A and B are shown apart, each in its own frame.
Chain A
Amino acid sequence: MIKTKVVGLSIMASLMLGVAGAPMARAGSGDTLAAVKARGEVLCGVHPARHGFAAPDSLGKWSGFEVDFCHAIAAAVFGDASKVRFVALSSQQRFPAIQSGEVDVLARNVTATLSRDTALGLNFAPPVFYTGTGFLVRKDDGIAKIEDLDGAAICMAPGSTTERNVAQIFAARGLTYTPVVIENNKQLVDAYVTGRCDALTKDKAALPGVRAFDTEDPSAHIMLPGIYSKEPLAMAVRQGDDNWYDLVKWVTYATFNAEELGVSQDNVDEMKNSEDPDVQALLGVIGDNGAKLGVDNGWVYAIVKQVGNYKDIYMRHFGPYSPVALDRDQNALWTEGGLLYGFPMQ
């Protein structure tokens, strides 16, 4: 029996090593766009519960900033923003899910980094949200800056860029901390709220949601000021399918450009009659942008009409009257001092 166990062990070992040591070769690419069209819906990987970005309400309906970008893709492909199926993914599951084709696109707080672009076999669309590592702390702990966190217990999710950023931020300042790393988001937030940790670290943009929805008294918690790292959040697709990548990329730009050209959800029908050739090209009145991407020429019209331009989407979820109010800061158009710069759609 032992012998057989050992044999089993070595067989499994060689299998695993064989898979891992296989030579790399580029193979033909799959056609995601065709697959999506055939299926009739876009499979969009989203965060299971991140207020402002993606969360199901008590009726099971998904809403959030990233959810809307999924809707935008569906609007572009089908002319119907509702043709999306949301797949909630934990941080551990997100990359295998996109790699294996379980989802067509990842709109799940993915920070675009070099190693993810290369080793993970991902392609990143332009960032839709610029943020950085943030810290949520209890007000009465008297923490005002990062140095005050020396020796603190800090709750964070495993495998996030945040986990690495914190290590660097603290090492650079010669500070120590105890990481409490929990994958399950509910357990993670619970650990902070109950006081297991002195600070909760996540993307800065995600913290107001935690404060608003998960704490008993939101005013008892504050976010540390300052930005400690670059976290450009972008939609990601598989490598090896350039057509699909192009579509996701231009859907992103389309929301930027619509805002820049003043085309919003409210006025899109009037703007269809605009004399401006840029607007005409954007809305498919002239040109064949849609055909080049393999979708209907009215794709941007569908996006703006059904989902909105970038500003519409942003204000819906982070506007001053939303629970997760956030200033636009870098997430403003380049014309307004922000970082959003849509490539020309010619």
Chain B
Amino acid sequence: MTTISSQIATPAPTYDPHARISGTVWLKANLFGSIWQSLLTVIVAAGLIRFFWFVLDWGVINAVFYTTDPDVCRAATGACWAVIVEKHRPMLFGLYPYDEHWRLVLMMVIYLVTVVISLWPRFWNLRLLVPLWIFATLSIGALMFGGVLGLRYVATSEWGGLPLTMLLFTGTVLIGMPVAVLLALGRRAPLPVARGVSVVFIESLRGVPLITILFVAVNVFPLFLPAGMEVNKLLRITVGIAIFFACYQAEVIRGGLQAIPRGQYEAAQSLSLSYWQTTRTIILPQALRISLPAITNHIIAAMKNTSFVIIIGLFDILTATTAVMQDPLWRKFYVEAYLFVAAVYLFFGYALSLYARQVEKWIASGRI
């Protein structure tokens, strides 16, 4: 119980944000405590001002925001944000047939709406979520693949850009989390063989770089299948990233499992609950709550890890951007393009961590 109560007891804040302190006191305490402090503050502030002035100068004042002529950009001393305007479609959608890009836009809208609704506790009820996900899966599938309703068929090898990143990420989490839970349970199982299998699996995959796992998924795995059997490459890659993700996540969940006091198992046993009943209703709900912050970190890491597919030539948003930056006319403005991609990742990463913080609050207040 101590673990849960320590979860609920929020750490005492170092300072009370609502306390009204006078500005001078605050300044003295935080910026000008001593001579050295003040000196440091001045130097840092000077550097900061220079930096922000540079950003303003380069990124706003002298920047070109819209033009179709790269020479206009060349003439400017500031940033060329026009490259993003000009190239946003190949960057965001990769090799997907140009005329069909509207399908990807629609897909992303459906995807984001579905995800946002699913993350909202108010809508956590299966009668809403199950139809929603069936609808989302079917419509996203129809939009991405086509071949129905008069939509042109688009093979997975032509998918790309941000939608691909989203699908890889979603697939990784949806496939990886159950695998992670199973591996974590296996590693804590009363059966030595199950423990052994899980340990070998987890440790050998955690010991190698993701790249080698992608190599296996792309180059070696097909050899493991009987002749004539084929598994879609995109699926193989997704499963590869998912299993890699699961091995790290399993260790996090194991930490949560270890934190559950023995008494919880005993109480469940004395109520005559079976192993799976105990795991499902007593152990996992607590273990997942305990390890939530670490789980979130790995989920965000999984999103970043999707970018590794550049190595095997999948056209995610990063690969697509590097390809776009091949255009000799716009090549010079790679900084702007990569900043844009970085901003996309930062945005989604930040959104995820904000949500995770909200979930922790909900847990603390007993809402979930």
Contact = CB atoms under 8 A, between A and B. Distances in A.
Contacts of B155: 85
A7 B325 CA distance: 46
Contacts of B158: 56, 60
7 contacts: A4-B196, A4-B200, A9-B207, A11-B200, A11-B204, A85-B157, A99-B222
B97 interface: yes
Interface stretch (B296-304, B326-334, B347-355): B326-334
Given A85-B155, A101-B222, A193-B328, A4 B203 contact: yes
Contacts of B312: 90, 93
Contacts of A183: 311
Interface string B219-257: 111110101101001000000000000000000000000
Nearest to A190: B326
**A8, A11, A213 pick with most chain B CB within 10 angstroms:** A8
A92 interface: yes
B323 interface: yes
B31 interface: no
Contacts of B311: 183-184
Given A187-B322, A189-B326, A96 B219 contact: yes
The 9 closest A-B pairs by CB, nearest first: A100-B222, A96-B219, A8-B200, A216-B328, A60-B97, A4-B199, A8-B204, A5-B203, A8-B203
Given A7-B200, A100-B221, A214-B328, 19 more contacts: A8-B203, A9-B204, A9-B207, A12-B200, A56-B95, A93-B313, A97-B219, A97-B222, A100-B222, A100-B223, A100-B225, A101-B228, A101-B230, A184-B322, A186-B325, A190-B326, A213-B328, A214-B326, A215-B328
Given A59-B99, A90-B313, A99 B233 contact: no
A345 to B, nearest CB: 31
B223 A102 contact: no
Interface in A179-221: 183-184, 186-187, 189-190, 193-194, 213-216
Given A35-B228, A96-B220, A186 B322 contact: yes
Nearest to A56: B95
Contacts of B218: 93, 96
A222 interface: no
A87 interface: yes
B207 A184 contact: no
Interface string A74-106: 000000000001111110110011011110000
B321 to A, nearest CB: 10
A161 B210 CA distance: 28
A317 B225 CA distance: 38
Contacts of A189: 326
Contacts of A48: 313
Nearest to B97: A60
Contacts of B223: 96, 99-100
B98 interface: yes
Contacts of A214: 326, 328
Interface of B: 90, 95-99, 154-155, 157-158, 196, 199-201, 203-204, 207, 218-223, 225, 227-228, 230, 233, 310-313, 322-323, 325-326, 328-329, 331
Contacts, number: 103
Contacts of B222: 96-97, 99-102
Contacts of A100: 219, 221-223, 225
Interface in A4-19: 4-5, 7-9, 11-12
B98 to A, nearest CB: 5
A190 B334 CA distance: 11
Contacts of B203: 1, 4-5, 8
B245 to A, nearest CB: 18
A30 interface: yes
A184 B311 CA distance: 7
A30 B322 contact: no
Contacts of B200: 4, 7-8, 11-12
A346 interface: no
A99 B311 CA distance: 20
A30 B228 contact: yes
Contacts of B225: 100
Contacts of A190: 322, 325-326, 331
A193 B204 contact: no
Nearest to B90: A58
Contacts of A215: 328
Contacts of A49: 323
Contacts of B233: 102
Interface in A98-153: 99-102
A11 B262 CA distance: 33
**A48, A60, A101 pick with most chain B CB within 10 angstroms:** A60
Contacts of B199: 1, 4-5, 7-8
Contacts of A35: 228
B310 A101 contact: no
B197 to A, nearest CB: 10
Nearest to A11: B200
Nearest to A2: B203
Nearest to A95: B219
Nearest to A13: B204
A66 B200 CA distance: 45
Contacts of B96: 60
Nearest to A87: B157
Nearest to A27: B227
